[in-house]
Amino acid sequence: MSDVTEVRFPNASGTGEVRGVVHGVKSVNAGLVIAHGRSNDMRNPLVRRVGEAAASAGLWALRFNFRYVDAKSKASWKLTAEVDDLLGAIRFARKECPGLPIFAAGKSMGARVCALASVDGDVAGMIALGYPLHPRFRPEVKDPPEWPKIVKPALFVQGDQDPFCDLDRLRAEMPRLTQPHELVVIRNAGHSFEPRGAKRDTFPEVRNATLSWIAHQVAKPAATA
């Protein structure tokens, strides 16, 4: 079982305070920072379950609110404030997990923020949980602006019926990434991995994809030593 603690820390620029929840464990092999989507917060069931699953697997995990949530406002136009918040979370994770790799995971809009922040030196890799590659049902809109910012290993976990991410479009875009990347498709699932057709819990598939990818990334240095 993990210890759950509410924390507060500054954003990267030091201009504001961010509120989060840490899932702490005694023996830690990596850190995971989890960002929520545009219309929800760190209490979102998927975000919460990812934090709980990460802690159960021996990861120090932090989920947090972008400041606009607690201010009852809206996300910034180019997500600059949200990148500032995420990088503050990464800095906090670095202090709590010295010498360990820190991964950034994001749901929907949070995945875009992770992409924009992945250039930071403390980010070992990014995990996109339902990447919003294009506007809803408009796969013809190309060239996501944050795509060139993805300069770290990346995992994309996508529902095959996600109206914000046509899989053919995503597969066509992925060769542009310069670092190792992987796509895991959750069958008969929507943007938030809600099941389509027969009722089922899709989270175990999301959890297994996420944790196995992180474990592989963490093991890489040992394998090449």
Euclidean distance between CA atoms 111 and 162, whole angstroms: 14
Confidence of residue 223 (pLDDT cuts 50, 70, 90): very low
Task: Walk me through the domains of the chain, giving residue ranges and CATH numbers.
Answer: 3-224 (3.40.50.1820)
Fill in the amino acid letter for 41.
D
Which letter, b or e, does each residue of 67-93 get, where b requires 16 or more Cβ atoms within 10 Å of its Cβ? bbbeeeeebeeebebbbbbbbbbbbbb
The DSSP code for 196 is -
Please say whether the dihedral angle defined by the alpha carbons of residues 41, 5, 17 and 108, taken in this order, is positive or negative. negative
Please give the model's pTM, rounded to 2 decimal places: 0.94
What's 178-191 look like in SS3? CCCEEEEEECCECC
Per-residue model confidence (pLDDT) at position 27: 77
CA 170 to chain CA centroid, Å, is 17
Confidence of residue 23 (pLDDT cuts 50, 70, 90): very high
Left (φ > 0), alpha (ψ -120 to 50) or beta: where does 197 sit? left
Q: What is the percent of the chain with per-residue pLDDT over 90, rounded to a whole number?
A: 85
Mean per-residue pLDDT, 177-204: 95
Residue-wise pLDDT tens digits, 149-181: 899 999 999 999 999 999 999 999 999 999 999
Mean per-residue pLDDT, 195-224: 89
β-pair partners for 186: 159
Mean per-residue pLDDT, 195-214: 96
Q: Does position 222 have pLDDT exceeding 80, yes or no?
A: no
Write down the mean pLDDT value for the chain. Answer: 93
Per-residue model confidence (pLDDT) at position 42: 98
